[in-house]
């Protein structure tokens, strides 16, 4: 056995031991966050510390903003007010008719026995800032758990879909923009009714993927949400086709779109209420329930999970 003399100065564990401990801890956090996504509580707890610091850091910008608003000239505000009044009068006829049409549509749907459309409702939220992460496109809005925001709610502005709430903190919520690389929105082309899914590209544009090279798509086509995902309500404008590359050597056309909503602007947005889960038709539901019982207790939770997703 070899005996070492006691150290003169207590310096804690060796640097390499500490390094491996912290690196292992960070790697574990990374893997759990990427694969399992079960660290939301830890994030929320840490945000209780970082959120006040962030608010404080954004104070100067807000003060400048408010000062600018305070010193805005009276004439400009009067102009704006008059313009808004005029546009409200312009819109009022359309709005009144739309309300009547919606009621009529509802009645006709009831007559036909088709499922009723859900009314769009939600709460207005202010965009606080864009997240600093250069790899993703996310914004932070000032509504959180306190306002009963939950992950998955769609976010719109006055022109169309902005994104989707992906993470909720006590006082703020993170919205992934539709231009983010990992965001996909099921859409429908208004002109033809063709259904597809639009993916973000990460550079402010969107791409319609997996449409055949001879698909009926033109520049200027407007894409609206198809509502097939059960998350976005159908009929909200998403993007406009700006550029199509048809290369006969590939089986798919490359179709680039620009978002219609002011996705990269800083303004107010509306967080729409979540859609209720679509229930299965009775026959399928009873079949699923029967199957759930048969294979024993072990398959129960898995089946339930899949049902919930549907």
Partner 1 sequence: MQTSYSSSRILLPVRPWFIASTLLIALLFNFLPTANWPGVPDWVALALVFWCVREPRRVGMGLAFLFGLAMDVADASLLGQHALAYVLVAYGASSLSRRILWFPLGQQALQVFPLLLLVQLVQLGVRTIVGADFPGLAYFVGPCLAALLWPLLTFVLLLPQHQPVDRDANRPL
Residue 122 is inside which H or E element, if any? strand 122-130
Min separation Cβ 201 and partner 1, Å: 9
| Under rule CB under 8 A, residue 202 binds partner 1 | yes
Binding span for partner 1 by CB under 8 A among 23-31, 88-96, 269-277, 297-305: 23-31
Q: Which of 3, 10, 76, 132 binds partner 1 (CB under 8 A)?
A: 132
Min separation Cβ 58 and partner 1, Å: 6
Q: What is the b/e burial string over 103-126, where b = at least 16 CB atoms within 10 angstroms of the residue's CB?
A: eeeeeeeeeeeeeeeeeeebeebe
Tokens representing 142 are: 């000032």
Q: What is the b/e burial string over 185-200, where b = at least 16 CB atoms within 10 angstroms of the residue's CB?
A: bbbbbeeeebebbbbb
d(CA 214, CA 63): 54
Tokens representing 86 are: 């005029």
| Under rule CB under 8 A, residue 135 binds partner 1 | yes
- Compose the 148-167 pattern: x for residues touching partner 1 by CB under 8 A, - for all others: -------------------x
Binding span for partner 1 by CB under 8 A among 133-141, 209-217, 254-262, 270-278: 133-141
d(CA 139, CA 173): 8
Binding span for partner 1 by CB under 8 A among 93-101, 135-143, 150-158, 240-248: 135-143
* CB-CB contact of 270 with 123 (8 Å): yes
| Under rule CB under 8 A, residue 67 binds partner 1 | no
Which residues are near partner 1 by CB under 8 A?
11, 15, 18-19, 22-23, 25-30, 32-34, 39, 42-43, 46-47, 49-50, 53-54, 56-58, 60-61, 129-136, 138, 140, 167, 174, 181, 202
């Amino acid at each position: 056995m070899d005996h070492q003399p006691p150290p003169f100065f207590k310096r804690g564990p060796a640097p390499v031991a500490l390094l491996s401990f912290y690196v292992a801890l960070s790697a574990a956090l990374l893997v759990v966050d990427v694969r399992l996504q079960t660290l939301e509580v830890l994030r929320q707890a840490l945000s209780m510390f970082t959120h006040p610091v962030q608010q404080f850091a954004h104070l100067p910008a807000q003060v400048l903003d408010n000062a600018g608003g305070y010193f805005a000239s009276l004439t400009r505000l009067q102009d704006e007010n008059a313009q808004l009044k005029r546009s409200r009068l312009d819109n009022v006829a359309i709005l009144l008719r739309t309300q009547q049409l919606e009621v009529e549509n509802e009645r006709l749907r009831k007559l036909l026995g088709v499922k009723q459309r859900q009314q769009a409702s939600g709460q207005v939220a202010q965009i606080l800032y864009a997240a600093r992460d250069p790899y993703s496109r996310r914004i932070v809005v000032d509504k959180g758990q306190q306002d009963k925001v939950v992950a998955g709610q769609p976010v719109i502005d006055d022109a169309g879909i902005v994104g989707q709430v992906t993470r909720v903190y006590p006082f703020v919520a993170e919205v992934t923009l539709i231009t983010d690389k990992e965001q996909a929105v099921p859409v429908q082309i208004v002109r033809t009714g063709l259904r597809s899914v639009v993916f973000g590209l990460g550079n402010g544009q969107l791409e319609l993927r997996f449409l055949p090279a001879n698909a009926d798509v033109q520049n200027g086509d407007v894409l609206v949400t198809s509502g097939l995902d059960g998350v976005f309500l159908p009929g909200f404008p998403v993007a406009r086709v700006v550029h199509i590359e048809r290369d006969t050597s590939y089986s798919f056309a490359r179709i680039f779109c620009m978002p219609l909503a002011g996705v990269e602007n800083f303004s107010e947005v509306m967080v729409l209420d979540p859609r209720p889960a679509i229930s299965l038709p009775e026959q399928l539901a009873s079949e699923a329930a029967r199957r759930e019982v048969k294979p024993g207790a072990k398959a129960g939770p898995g089946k339930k999970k899949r049902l919930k997703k549907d």
